Amino acid sequence: MSAQFFVQPILEINVKELEALLQTLPNHQLQLIDVREPEEIEMAKLDGFMNYPLSQYSQWSEQILVELDATQETLVLCHHGVRSAQMCQWLIRQGFTQVKNITGGIDAYSIYVDSKVPRY
C-alpha cells in the first residue's frame, strides 16, 4: 500500500468527556485547537481554544509546529467533527502523538453540554 493512501486511526473524545477534562485539568495541560473559520468563531466559541482555520493553512502550517508541543495532549474542534478529523490526520503526520478529535464538534457541545453556546 502506498504511504500517501495510508490513514492513521484517529483517537476521539466526545463532548461530555471534553467538558469533564476542561473542568478537571488546568488549561496548560491541554492544547485546544479550533479549525473553524473566524466567522464561525464569532457565532459560537469555547474559551481556551486557539483558532487555526483550515482555509488559512498556508498562513499557520509552519508556525503551529513551533507554537505547539507535539507530545502534549491536543484536542481538535470544528462544527461537526469532519474538519477537525482532517486536522488530526495532519497533526499525526507532523509527529504529534496525543491528538484527539472532538466528535460532534461545537454543535454537539451546544446540544449535550451547554445550550448557551449558540447553534448555527
Grouped pLDDT means (10 residues each) for the chain, 120 residues: 59 97 84 98 96 96 94 97 97 96 98 97
Span 29-63, pLDDT tens digits: 899 999 999 999 999 999 999 999 999 999 999 99
pTM over 0.75: yes
Q: Is the dihedral of CA 81, 86, 92, 94 positive or negative?
A: negative
Domain count for the chain: 1
Yes or no: say if 71 and 86 are a contact pair by the CB < 8 Å rule: no
114: which DSSP letter? -
Which of 12, 27, 29, 7 has its CA nearest to residue 92?
Answer: 7
Q: Is 57 left (phi over 0), alpha (psi -120 to 50) or beta?
A: alpha
**Amino acid symbol at 109:** Y
Residue 11: CATH number of its domain = 3.40.250.10
- Name the residue range of residue 18's domain: 7-112
Catalytic (active-site) positions: 78
